[in-house]
């Protein structure tokens, strides 16, 4: 009776997973492909429980430095109804897996299963810092898992985390999937509505008046700030992704004028947030020369205001400041060299005001509200593109199933081979011992001689610590012996 109740509770829990997913307003209930995901594991492969597997994997990592891919897949499969300590264990195992030979690249099936199990356990917050640390954990999301994650965050009203995922997809510079483009645009625009008009926090000052700790290093590597993977500030990332998506032309061309308006304004706002003002103003000039003849609108009022605000709030650097020594420089210090000086900032302000006056003269500024237009447009697009995504993902689940089977067979072959090798070695050792006993009578002379051919370690006499009295007695004894000999 009790067993029956327990099983039914477990079944109910299994059925209720992803129930919150079905109530999404952006994506339909079938997008999660719950049936195929539950049947993704081939039936001939065993289901090992979590505790045993994790301990075995940690042993393998410490002994051999690596554990096989199929072990990781099994572990990720068994991540259901797991407690908090075990989650920290899995994160540790993920770190070690990435630092082994099989961790480059981490397979898509593993990443997919990790993300889905975290969503089921309702702790997707822990995923975001892991996704950011690409060298350490290597969770490079493919398009399907990114869509799932972003929709989950949006449904829970966690726009910050959803935007973080969108930034990571932007950093890969891959706009070939229109569905993820739409999804990330949605997240970024929502985040813009929250953050766009708030002054970003000031930088922490580089303090040089505190204690100094000297450490000897063979070579001092220069700290490098590439403007892509090393960006730490959120509004820079937001701006860059908006610029990038605006260029890609995500909003479709029902009316070509609104399409151009939308893309231009997104690009302009993005560059303003990203603090690349000269680039934005160069683009504006080209747009004005193209639009002056037709008297078409170029930008919207709201975007111009946000650009102006960020121009005023942008931090500046002092060009006459002394450069720090190489040993004291950090990545932040190198990043601040890209800021504008005060003269350049004033020049940008003047140029900006000139161009806005030009725009007003021929009616290039429109009062349209873009954000709601974008959000509605993007939602309609996503509904049309869902079918393709689902069918392609189903195929991928089937492919992963067959790959898993092949991996399992190879692993079992290797293990049986290793076992046979060990048995053979044991047998050989036994045979060698027996041979020695049998042939001992014939090799008697060699065995006796071998005793004298053994290398002898030279014994070192320990130096005795003697007192003066004992020394005198010894010397007297020696002299007496010498006299006797004579």
> Residue 126 Cβ, how far from other proteins at the closest point, in Å?
21
Among 174, 197, 399, 415, the residue binding other proteins under the rule CB under 8 A is 174
DSSP 299: E
Q: Are 388 and 263 in contact (CB under 8 A)?
A: no
Among 20, 24, 56, 134, the residue binding other proteins under the rule CB under 8 A is 134
Q: Could you write out the three-class secondary structure of 359-397?
A: HHHCCCEECCCHHHHHHHHHHHHHHHHHHHHHHHHHHHH
> Judged by CB, which is closer to other proteins: 18, or 179?
179
Count of other CB atoms within 10 angstroms of residue 238: 25
> Residue 208 Cβ, how far from other proteins at the closest point, in Å?
7
Cα angle vertex 72, ends 71, 74, to 5°?
A: 65
* String marking each residue 68-107 x if it binds other proteins according to CB under 8 A: -------------------------------xxx-xxx--
> Judged by CB, which is closer to other proteins: 18, or 225?
225
Paired with 316 in beta bridges are 340
> Residue 151 Cβ, how far from other proteins at the closest point, in Å?
20
Establish if 208 lies at the interface with other proteins (CB under 8 A): yes
User: Which 357-386 residues touch other proteins, going by CB under 8 A?
Assistant: none
Establish if 210 lies at the interface with other proteins (CB under 8 A): yes
Establish if 222 lies at the interface with other proteins (CB under 8 A): yes
> Judged by CB, which is closer to other proteins: 37, or 95?
95
Q: Which stretch binds other proteins (CB under 8 A): 118-126, 258-266, 287-295, 322-330?
A: 322-330
* String marking each residue 395-424 x if it binds other proteins according to CB under 8 A: ------------------------------
Q: Which long-range contacts (CB under 8 A, 24 or more apart) does 160-167 make?
A: 160/191, 161/124, 161/125, 161/128, 162/187, 162/190, 162/191, 163/187, 163/188, 163/190, 163/191, 163/234, 163/238, 164/128, 164/131, 164/132, 165/128, 165/131, 165/141, 166/241, 167/237, 167/238, 167/241
> Judged by CB, which is closer to other proteins: 214, or 452?
214
> Residue 404 Cβ, how far from other proteins at the closest point, in Å?
21
Token pair listed for 60: 């393998």
Give the whole-angstrom CA distance, residue 273 versus residue 301.
Answer: 16
> Judged by CB, which is closer to other proteins: 99, or 336?
99
Among 224, 429, 432, 456, the residue binding other proteins under the rule CB under 8 A is 224
| Chain centroid to CA 419 | 37
> Judged by CB, which is closer to other proteins: 326, or 466?
326
DSSP 25: S
DSSP 124: G
**Which residues sit at the interface with other proteins, rule CB under 8 A?**
99-101, 103-105, 134-135, 138, 140, 142, 171-174, 207-208, 210-222, 224, 226, 228-229, 247, 325-328
């Amino acid at each position: 009776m009790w067993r029956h109740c327990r099983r039914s509770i477990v079944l109910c829990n299994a059925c209720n997973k992803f129930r919150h997913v079905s109530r999404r307003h952006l994506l339909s209930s079938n997008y999660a492909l719950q049936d195929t995901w539950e049947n993704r594991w081939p039936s001939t492969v065993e289901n090992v429980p979590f505790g045993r597997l994790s301990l075995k994997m940690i042993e393998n990592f410490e002994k051999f430095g690596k554990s096989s891919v199929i072990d990781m897949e099994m572990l990720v499969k068994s991540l259901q109804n797991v407690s908090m300590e075990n989650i920290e264990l899995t994160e540790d195992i993920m770190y070690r897996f990435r630092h082994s030979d099989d961790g480059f690249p981490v397979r898509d099936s593993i990443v997919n299963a990790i993300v889905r199990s975290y969503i089921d356990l309702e702790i997707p917050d822990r995923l975001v810092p892991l996704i950011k640390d690409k060298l350490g954990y290597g969770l490079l999301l493919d398009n399907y898992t990114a869509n799932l994650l972003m929709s989950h965050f949006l449904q829970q009203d966690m726009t910050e985390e959803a935007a973080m995922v969108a930034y990571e997809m932007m950093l890969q510079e891959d706009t070939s999937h229109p569905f993820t483009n739409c999804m990330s645009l949605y997240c970024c625009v929502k985040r813009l509505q929250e953050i766009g008009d708030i002054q970003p926090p000031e930088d922490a000052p580089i303090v040089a008046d505190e204690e100094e700790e000297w450490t000897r290093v063979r070579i001092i590597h220069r700290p490098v700030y590439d403007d892509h993977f090393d960006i730490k500030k959120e509004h820079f990332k937001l701006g860059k992704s908006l610029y990038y998506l605006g260029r890609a032309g995500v909003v479709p061309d029902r009316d070509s004028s609104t399409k151009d308006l939308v893309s231009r304004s997104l690009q302009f706002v993005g560059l303003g947030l990203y603090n690349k003002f000269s680039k934005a103003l160069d683009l504006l000039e080209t747009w004005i020369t193209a639009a002056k003849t037709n008297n078409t609108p170029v930008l919207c009022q709201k975007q111009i205001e946000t650009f102006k605000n960020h121009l005023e709030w942008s931090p500046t650097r002092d060009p006459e400041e002394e450069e720090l020594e190489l040993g004291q420089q950090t990545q932040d210090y190198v990043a601040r060299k890209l800021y504008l000086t005060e003269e350049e900032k004033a020049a940008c302000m003047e140029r900006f005001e000139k161009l806005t006056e030009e725009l007003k003269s021929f009616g290039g500024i429109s009062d349209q509200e873009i954000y709601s237009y974008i959000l509605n447009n993007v939602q309609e697009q996503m509904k049309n593109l869902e079918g393709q995504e689902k069918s392609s993902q189903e195929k991928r689940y089937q492919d992963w199933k067959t790959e898993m089977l092949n991996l399992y067979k190879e692993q079992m072959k290797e293990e049986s081979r290793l076992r046979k090798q060990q048995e053979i070695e044991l047998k050989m050792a036994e045979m060698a011992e027996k041979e020695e006993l049998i042939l001992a009578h014939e090799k008697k002379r060699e065995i006796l001689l071998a005793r004298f051919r053994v290398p002898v370690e030279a014994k070192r006499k320990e130096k005795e610590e003697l007192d003066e009295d004992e020394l005198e007695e010894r010397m007297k004894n020696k002299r007496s012996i010498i006299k006797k000999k004579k």
